[in-house]
Structure 1
Amino acid sequence: MTRTDAIARAQEYLHSGAFLRELDRRVAYPTESQNPERRDCLRGYLEQELQPAFAQLDFSTRLIESPSGKHPYLLAEYRENASAPTVLMYGHGDVVDGMVGEWRDNLDPWRTTTSGNRVYGRGTADNKGQHSINLSALRAVREARGGRIGFNAKFIVEMGEEIGSPDLRQVCESLREELKADLFLASDGPRLAADRPTIFLGCRGGVRIHLDVNLRDGSHHSGNWGGVLANPATILASAIATLVDGKGHLLLDELKPPRLSNQIRAVLADVKIEPTAGEPTLSENWGEEGFSAAERLYAWNTLEVLAMSSGNIEKPANAIPGRAQAVLQLRFVVGTRVDKAVDVIRARLDAGGFPMVEVRATQSFAASRTDFDSPWVNWTAQSIRQTTGKAPAVLPNFGGSLPNDVFSDALGLPTIWVPHSYPGCSQHAPDEHILLGVTEEALGIMAGLFWDLGEMPRAL
């Protein structure tokens, strides 16, 4: 059989209903990693669902306990030829809260429901649908090649990605020899747009910055004390305005990334951010001046206010509050001195007359990306172009965050992400879904990539 046969076979899984039946079975596991009552479901998904699926592909598998003992991992391996390329793949089987009762038409998040071009269900886009696509494509290539895939493959599945992958780096470093590979290839996050295949090479990092103003216990009557008591909410709003202005401009040069290279600008030149129906319209005159929307989103840093609190907004009293709090988030790309973020912010607030604002950082995750010069980038783009007839968007990094640094930095692998979702998929919200059209194309893309890997006599 040929490459074309393998692609057709992968897409036939969708047309026949087999892929959706398999996905429905996987969505039925309520694998909410933040819910301690779901611990058995996390293990069950690996033992009862994925281990048999890998066994059908002749992978050997074993469960690996996490250092915390809460979120197990599955390691699967297939060896065919010592001289052939070895690819390491990744997926996560955990999901966020199901949000039962909040879905349209009271849909059950733990079952798939097809409506038009959409397939609803928790995990369909993040990440059960995406790693199911990749496994189906592997199966199609294996069948087309008469029981072999043509390369060596390893797969690690975690069950704690939605709580920040707390043990992933430690686990992968302990398995360094077992996870050796020539390429890391995985699928998570959204494409640039539903109709444009996408490659991204890493992810932006993030760090939460907590700002607290604690002036006194309790609130005091605004008529009796207004004008003589400092207002923590006013102080906090003014302090934030020294960090980011009213048009979203980051005001601290020390928290900006290095100058955009000509290479990144060239790669992003044809990347257009065009929201589709149901997605928010881009704000005019917002963000760093002189940049395109793609450059702001994929190649620059932003400081966003995630939440603010002072007094009781539901029942405001005629009183000056004693405290105010805000949570900000710095999203940053490779090259940012994020280790200095708290010190830089502290210095700016002190200089602005706000020494009473307390600053601390939490929930930090790293930025990482593969170099554009890696031969795997062009190879992946050419394979996708051959399969779809479309030039894929090549992004330096995903706008959000994934544990890419574990694979790019800790394991030293070139990392290529080929996402199968789209920006309007409602991941982490009610009505999460995948699109049938994107799923069909994705099955073909991955079958083409896996077929092409098997044609390589040795790794790039």
Structure 2
Amino acid sequence: MVVGRKPPYAAESTPLPPEGFPPCRSLPSSSPLGPIVPRSTATSGRITALIPAQLLRKAEEFIDSGAFFAELAAMVAYPTESVHPEASVAVTAYLDEVLTPALTGLGCSVRTYGNEDPRGGPFLVGRRVESPKLPTLLCYGHADVVDGQADQWGEGRGPWTLTAEGERWYGRGAADNKGQHLVNLAALRLLLAEQGRLGFNLTCLFETGEEIGSPGLARFAAAHREGLRADVLIASDGPRVDAATPTLFLGARGGVQILLDVDLRPDAYHSGNWGGVLRNPATTLAGAIASLVDGHGGIRVPELLPPGLPDAVRRSLAGVTVANSPGDPAPDEGWGDISLTAAERLYAWNTLEVLSLGAADIDRPVNAIPGRARAVLQLRHVAGTDVSRVGEVLTEHLARQGFPMVDVTVLGRFPAARTPLDDPWVDWARAALEQVAERPVTVLPNIGGSLPHSVFTEVLGLPALWLPHSYPGCLQHAPDEHLLAPIAREGLVLATALFHALGNPTAELPLPAYAKGPR
């Protein structure tokens, strides 16, 4: 699926790998991966007995040869910024010129669907049915990216031209999500070329609005439940727990965005002439926020907390280290609920964050009491938290605290969801991955961020597993977003092995019970 022709709005040339493109077999000690070097997959007798060594070598060679880089460069050249309506031309071209040929090459029938939600873009679905007796895999990816922020990238870099600097491949979408869904498409392609079959039925779903909250995705899934029937979802998005650790995660925290507005009067009044007799909306807002979350990040409203921390979740996070890669910021001591570990606070608990806060002009202050102050807060919450009445809960709490003048508006929501840790597909996937990783795979109950996991678990009723091919320091929503070549290389090996295990069950690694055919 090398896309050779240049779209009319893309960069002047599609970059190829730099001359003397280095294989990703070894890493300097300064690498975000540290000194860890994945062991050669061809050297383990146990692995070669279950997964053909030549298949895994081909996965490594696909990265080392520069072929993966060239394909990703062509994908990055499409400025598929869903936040900008005018980017719909690039989005449509990406579906037609990149993803449709990729899926057709896998033997899929492909169809594009419109979105009933006017805020969102189209959906693309590819289907390959080998036998109604085989399990069905659902894959997912998103074609859209965030704003390119073209004027903020480092020297010699830009959002729409993939640039290699050492092991970092810079470009918008390189990590989120084009590089990640390319890894999985390449793994499927390698498996099909090696075997002449996949050994399972395949459905691929691509959306074009994940970066703006996946508008219309849940409605589309509900309307097309029959066409999206499967036994398991395996997809890639988000980061590993750290660069060096192969990771599976089983869900995502949700988010509720909240506006607090203290609009007391249309004009500002002199602070000397009126100070002490006019309520200051900025001071009021600061007090209101402090009644919700203290100065050390502790949530003060019990209704905003989860019902508890399940023992299975606590056990899964034992030994998980947060911010374990060079260059990561160190977690702040004493921040949040100090009765929890850093991993528990990030992956198993709720947090209330102030995203923006303002009154008057902070760069040009004058001696006046402002008439209005506003703040946007975000409640990041884990599955099991009742957020159905967040607006009412906050309004009632603020009134009790003496702040009835603070207006509360819920700006948007994104649901939390989690595949159970004891789902049989979780143990199956971990066992398959550890055969080739040759080190423990970390299984997280969910990531700290948000993605549309609930669509697959709640709407489609599937176990959903995420195999991320990125890391927390990839800058995916910032300038200088990048994919780490060694993670892409290992990720392609892991994805190829996982798909091979799905299509070739053995007595040592049998599949969980599944419906005979798409369910």
Normalised by the size of structure 2, how large is the TM-score?
Answer: 0.87
- 1:334-358 superposed Cα distances (whole Å, 9 cap, x missing partner): 1111012112111211111111011
Matched, 1:167 2:216: yes
In 1, Cα distance between the equivalents of 2:59 and 2:458?
Answer: 33
Asked if the contact 1:275/1:282 (under 8 Å) is kept, the reply is no
Question: Which runs of structure 2 are paired with 1:52-131 in the superposition (5 Å)?
Answer: 52-68=101-117, 71-131=121-181
> Alpha-carbon deviation of 1:106?
4.2
In 2, Cα distance between the equivalents of 1:338 and 1:55?
Answer: 42
For 1:51, the equivalent position in structure 2 comes to 100
In 1, Cα distance between the equivalents of 2:259 and 2:273?
Answer: 31
> Alpha-carbon deviation of 1:278?
2.9
Q: Secondary structure at the match of 1:82?
A: coil
In 1, Cα distance between the equivalents of 2:84 and 2:367?
Answer: 39
In 2, Cα distance between the equivalents of 1:37 and 1:347?
Answer: 42
> Alpha-carbon deviation of 1:57?
1.3
> Alpha-carbon deviation of 1:3?
2.8
In 1, Cα distance between the equivalents of 2:116 and 2:203?
Answer: 21
For 1:334, the equivalent position in structure 2 comes to 383
In 2, Cα distance between the equivalents of 1:263 and 1:428?
Answer: 32
> Alpha-carbon deviation of 1:131?
0.2
> Alpha-carbon deviation of 1:135?
0.4
In 1, Cα distance between the equivalents of 2:512 and 2:397?
Answer: 50
Matched, 1:450 2:450: no
Q: Secondary structure at the match of 1:327?
A: strand
In 2, Cα distance between the equivalents of 1:270 and 1:44?
Answer: 45
Q: 275, 281, 303: which is aligned to 1:232?
A: 281
In 2, Cα distance between the equivalents of 1:458 and 1:180?
Answer: 18
- 1:118-157 superposed Cα distances (whole Å, 9 cap, x missing partner): 0000000000000000000111111121x21111111000
For 1:395, the equivalent position in structure 2 comes to 444
Which amino acid is the alignment partner of residue 144 of structure 1? E
> Alpha-carbon deviation of 1:274?
2.8
For 1:140, the equivalent position in structure 2 comes to 190
In 2, Cα distance between the equivalents of 1:224 and 1:278?
Answer: 50
For 2:346, the equivalent position in structure 1 comes to 297
For 2:325, the equivalent position in structure 1 comes to 276
In 1, Cα distance between the equivalents of 2:377 and 2:337?
Answer: 18
> Alpha-carbon deviation of 1:225?
0.9
Q: 416, 423, 428: which is aligned to 2:472?
A: 423
- Give structure 2 stretches of 5+ with no counterpart: 1-47, 514-519
- 1:381-437 superposed Cα distances (whole Å, 9 cap, x missing partner): 111110111211111111100011011000000010010000000001000001111
> Alpha-carbon deviation of 1:262?
1.4
- 1:277-323 superposed Cα distances (whole Å, 9 cap, x missing partner): 33222111001121000000000001111100101001001110000
> Alpha-carbon deviation of 1:36?
1.3
Question: Which runs of structure 2 are paired with 1:162-201 in the superposition (5 Å)?
Answer: 162-201=211-250
Matched, 1:40 2:89: yes
In 1, Cα distance between the equivalents of 2:160 and 2:181?
Answer: 17
Aligned residues: 459
Question: Which runs of structure 2 are paired with 1:314-325 in the superposition (5 Å)?
Answer: 314-325=363-374
- Among the aligned pairs, what percent are the same residue? 50
> Alpha-carbon deviation of 1:84?
1.4
Q: Secondary structure at the match of 2:307?
A: coil
Asked if the contact 1:76/1:156 (under 8 Å) is kept, the reply is yes
> Alpha-carbon deviation of 1:12?
1.2
